[in-house]
Every structure is written in C-alpha cells, then in structure tokens.
Structure 1
Amino acid sequence: MNQLLRLLSMPRVAARPLHMAAVLSLVGLLPSCQTSVGETSNAYAASKRTVEAATPLGSMSTTAELPDSLRLTPLALLPGVPDSLHQQIQALHASLGPNAAELRLEVLERACVGYLNLRKKGRVSKPGVLAVADMDMPSSAKRLWVLDLKAGKVLQRSHVAHGEGSGYLRARRFSNVMRSECTALGFYRTQDTYQGKHGLSRRLRGLDVGQNDNALHRYVVLHAADYVSKRYIERHGQVGYSRGCPALPPDQYRAIINAVGEGGCLYVGGPGLKSKWLDATIAAQQLAASGWR
C-alpha cells in the first residue's frame, strides 16, 4: 500500500504511466504475475467464479464490468438458407422437445448445415446422429446434446468442459495451437476408441483447417473427468477445466461415447466460428436427396 501511495503522489511529469492492472495488483485485487500465458492465478480465478455465480443472467449493463458475463453472444441465422431447409430445421427443433429448449435454433441450424455438408462430402459416415456443444453457454449449464436427427429426439444431454486456456465460467478464447489448453471450435469427426488414463476415450479429428485440425496431435478426445461430475458441480457451481478436451461426466461418458459412435459428427460452436462446411445450398441439396441419413 505504501508503494501505491508513493506512486500516486509522484508529480505527473516524473511518474511513469501506471496501468490499472498494476495498481490493482499492488493492493491485492489482481495477481502481480501470471501462472502461464493467458492464464490468471488460482486466487483470481476463484474470485471471478464467485462474482459470476452471484450474477443473474442478463443483469449486467456492460460486459466490461466483469471478465466474464453470463449474457450469450447474439447469433444471427445463417444467410442464404432456403426456406425449405430452415423450416425442416425448425420442425426438428420443435420435435426434440423440452430437453432441447436451451439449444438455440441458430446453433442447431449451423450444426445441421455442417452435418449435411459433411455427409455430402463423405467426411462423416454415421448417419442421422449429430452431437452439438454450445461453448458460448456457461459451463454450469448442460450444453452438450447428442441428437437422433431421423427420430427427432435427444439421445443424451450433459455438461461438458472447455479448456483451461479458454476461460472460466464462460469460454472466451479458442485456439488450435499446441499446448494452448484451449478449446478449438469447429466440426469434428469422431474416431476410434481406446483405453487411456481416463478410461474409455474416443479420438476426435478436426475438420476445419487452421481452426481445429490439430485435434489428433493435441490429443483432444472425449473422455470422463471427475471435474464434470455432479458432486463437483454441486460444490463449485460449474464444471472444472480440461486441457482442451470436451471432457464428460463420469456417469454419462460411456453412453455419450457409444451414442456418437465412430464416424459421427460433433459440432463445437462458439463466438467467432467460421467454417467452410456452413454452405446452405449444399446442405439443402443433401437433405432433399437423402433426408437426415
């Protein structure tokens, strides 16, 4: 505190410009150093989570008031989607029922368009099954759905973790870079399973070049984690963090891994996602020719 007072009392011409983060760090409101690039200290992370958990959805006037806000990023419907395709996606959304009420139509539309493009190109081979993770939602919410498109029903819904490098309650940063510990957005093909240190795990192949195509090299896989368990969520109010894997609840991971199968489509959506697989014209052609198969 004495150091802070001396700095603030210095003549303006003699004093160096003092960044607000440096001022706050002197009085203990922010850490004075970072534990790693893009990652704040555990104490600061804990304080952020405490404030966020006490903040009702939509109660903030600006996002600058807190590092993370609970307000979801506005998402427009995809441009150029033919009415016939849009109507069928709307019908699908309605048929999924209450268990998909929090799955935004705008997110589902992107996931479906991508799935249809990938089926058309033969990049995913399991018909009618689509997994959707909306990483714009807070990790306290069940933001992963596994859908049976042909039957119009939700096969599984669960919590899912994002990478520690991506943020705290909300994922804000996304990266394809090795050792970033971030979640990478985009479309994935589900690969084979293996027995790893987390038990049964399923490999993921990123299908968006430059955006998630390092997934296999980063060992981004579907696996179980104790920090996604009901007990952990009850204690902390949210799930913990992975190193970039969409980690799953221990009581659901086997069912989810089996439901998505091998050759299936996983869409990990979030702010700023761009993908060549979001071609509405190709999607409409595929749906007209083959339905949701």
Structure 2
Amino acid sequence: MNQLLRLLSVLRPWARPLSLGAALGLVGVLPACQTSVGETTSLYAAPKQPTATTLPDSAAAVAALPDSLRLTPLLPLAGVPDSLHQQIQALHASLGPEAAELRLEVLERACVGYLNLRKNGRVSKPGVLAVADMDMPSSEKRLWVLDLKAGQVLHRSHVAHGEGSGHLRARRFSNVMRSECTALGFYRTQDTYQGKHGLSRRLRGLDAGQNDNALRRYVVLHAADYVSKQHLARYGQAGYSRGCPALPPDQYRGIINTVGEGGCLYISGPGLESKWLDATVAAQQLAARGWR
C-alpha cells in the first residue's frame, strides 16, 4: 500500500497528498446537487476500503490512478475574420495572469457566442461573460467571470461538474433528464431564489438538444461544500453535482451577483457544437457595438 501512495504522489504533483482511504476511494465522493423534483442536501459516500474480494494491489493501483491531465486538443474556430481574432487576442492579453490558463481557443468561442447572443437579444447584460472550461480537471480553477469592456477578470474559481460526467475530468456530457451530467453550451442567467443551498441562480440553456433541459433539470448556480477549500485540500479535487456548475461557498454570492440576470455563461467541453458560433455575425456585432 505504501508503494501505491508513492505512485499516486508522483502522478499527482498538482494535488496535496491523499490519505490511503482517499486514494483508494477517490471516485467515491458523491455529493448530491439538485434533482428534477427539487433540491437535496449534499451527501458523501465513504471511501471504500479494500476487502478480500477486491482487486489485488497491482490492479487496484491501476484502478485508482487519476484521469489524464492532458486537455483535449481544440482547433481554432473556423472562419474567424482577422480583425475579430486580433481583438480577442488583445482581450486575452489584457486579462493578465489570472486568465493564463484560459485557452485562447475557448475564449474565442465564448466571445463569438456572446456576440451572436447579444445581437440576437438572447442575453441582455452587456460586457459580462462567464466561461467554464470543463475539459480541465476539477482540481483547477476553471471558471472565469470576465469584464469584456475593461479587459479584467472579475472572478476566478473552482466549479463542479456532474457526477455522470466523470471523476477528475468530465468526459461525458448530457442534456437528458436525471443523467446527472454536465451539459455543454451557452446559457442565459435567469432569476435568483433562496433554496437549501442558499442564494441560487437559474440557468436557461440556449443550445437546442444540448442544454435546453437546464430549467427542467434544475441546473442552477449555487454554493456547495464539495467545492470548498477544505474539500479540495482533503481530496485534491472538487466533488460532483447532479449537473449544476456548483461554486465554492466563499465565492458563490459574488459570482451569482456579478453575472446578474440576462448574462451569458459558456460551458466548454469536448465535442461541443453550437449554432451561436457564427464568426461573421460576431465580427459585425463587435464592429457595430463593441463588447456592449
């Protein structure tokens, strides 16, 4: 078992050391989020301890290895006019060190979608864009809230993905009811309410067939203990929601208030396609209105 812990410490340089129970039960952290019939409290499954019927040490070591940290290659968005690409590059540079891990290819898609949605009237809050790169591991701060006009990062935080989407990395995405998966695409931020998680903000999915069940699935922004500093320190990663982009308890209120009602949230991940990624329309909108 000591060999297993040494192996995990080598393969997990990005995380704090795990206890033996946490190492063997890394995938057993199963907090609940919200279901289609309302909210539930957070639940945790105790890490499973090895027994005589479990895998031998060598096989258990392989099974306990974390998901690969290599991000899925993302090709540049096709058909982006040079003028638009250069302005997004300049925006990326102005965001500074806090956005160094926000890939330019993800930011470009997020900005193109935001501009299309503004032109179409589907989002109404000007200049604020939230971007979550769900291809990154949940151990990393993979949510950014940006002020496009000022070129500033307003918030950066950890964010949970759905239990059905994977463990350290989200690999499966679904719009299906009760799938407990994260759904990719563009969202409009809706009204707020007070629930069992405290202040929460509803999300309306704007990509038909990909995330348009968000309201029916009760996919919302809310706080969760399984995204807290204490949970991350203990387990080396965030826990899992039931599809909600759950937020750290010490940051959720600021993020929810900043994105406001009528704002744009882009949840990025492998295989995402969206009708809102029309670079020609986006370039026209930016030329006419700027980031407003």
Q: TM-score range, shorter-chain basis?
A: 0.7 to 0.9
Matched with 1:291 is 290
Q: Kindly state the Cα deviation for residue 135 of structure 1 after the two structures are TM-superposed.
A: 0.2
For residues 89 and 172 of structure 2, the distance between their equivalents in structure 1, rounded to whole angstroms, comes to 30
Matched with 2:220 is 221
Pairing 1:1-293 to 2, within 5 Å after superposition: 43=48, 50-52=64-66, 68-293=67-292
Residues 278, 231 of structure 1: alpha-carbon distance in 2 compared, 3 angstrom cutoff: same
Q: Kindly state the Cα deviation for residue 69 of structure 1 after the two structures are TM-superposed.
A: 1.3
Residues 283, 243 of structure 1: alpha-carbon distance in 2 compared, 3 angstrom cutoff: same
For residues 69 and 186 of structure 1, the distance between their equivalents in structure 2, rounded to whole angstroms, comes to 23
* Deviation readout 1:79-122 (Å, 9 max, x if unpaired): 10000000000000000000000000000000000000000000
3-state SS of paired residue (1:133): strand
For residues 103 and 113 of structure 2, the distance between their equivalents in structure 1, rounded to whole angstroms, comes to 16
For residues 148 and 42 of structure 1, the distance between their equivalents in structure 2, rounded to whole angstroms, comes to 41
Please tell me the root mean square deviation across aligned C-alpha atoms, in Å. 2.1
Query: Contact 1:228–1:247 at 8 Å: present in 2 too?
Result: yes
For residues 279 and 101 of structure 2, the distance between their equivalents in structure 1, rounded to whole angstroms, comes to 23
Identical amino acids, percent of aligned pairs: 86
Amino acid at match of 2:265: L
3-state SS of paired residue (1:91): helix
Q: Which protein has the larger Cα radius of gyration, Structure 1 or Structure 2?
A: 1
Q: Kindly state the Cα deviation for residue 47 of structure 1 after the two structures are TM-superposed.
A: 6.9
For residues 164 and 51 of structure 1, the distance between their equivalents in structure 2, rounded to whole angstroms, comes to 18
Where relative contact order (Cα < 8 A, 6+ residues apart) is larger, the structure is 2
Long gaps (5+) in structure 2 = 1-45, 49-53, 55-59
For residues 234 and 174 of structure 2, the distance between their equivalents in structure 1, rounded to whole angstroms, comes to 29
Amino acid at match of 2:65: V
Give the length in aligned residue pairs. 240
For residues 260 and 209 of structure 2, the distance between their equivalents in structure 1, rounded to whole angstroms, comes to 25
Matched with 2:41 is none
Long gaps (5+) in structure 1 = 1-40, 53-67
Amino acid at match of 1:229: S
For residues 124 and 203 of structure 1, the distance between their equivalents in structure 2, rounded to whole angstroms, comes to 14
Matched with 2:15 is none
Amino acid at match of 1:222: L
For residues 131 and 202 of structure 2, the distance between their equivalents in structure 1, rounded to whole angstroms, comes to 16
For residues 291 and 205 of structure 2, the distance between their equivalents in structure 1, rounded to whole angstroms, comes to 22
Q: Kindly state the Cα deviation for residue 148 of structure 1 after the two structures are TM-superposed.
A: 0.1
Deviation >2 Å, runs of 4+: 41-44, 46-50
For residues 161 and 151 of structure 1, the distance between their equivalents in structure 2, rounded to whole angstroms, comes to 28
For residues 260 and 163 of structure 1, the distance between their equivalents in structure 2, rounded to whole angstroms, comes to 21
Q: Kindly state the Cα deviation for residue 50 of structure 1 after the two structures are TM-superposed.
A: 4.7
Query: Contact 1:49–1:169 at 8 Å: present in 2 too?
Result: no
Query: Contact 1:163–1:243 at 8 Å: present in 2 too?
Result: yes
Q: Kindly state the Cα deviation for residue 51 of structure 1 after the two structures are TM-superposed.
A: 1.9
Query: Contact 1:176–1:211 at 8 Å: present in 2 too?
Result: yes
For residues 49 and 139 of structure 1, the distance between their equivalents in structure 2, rounded to whole angstroms, comes to 19
Residues 262, 49 of structure 1: alpha-carbon distance in 2 compared, 3 angstrom cutoff: farther
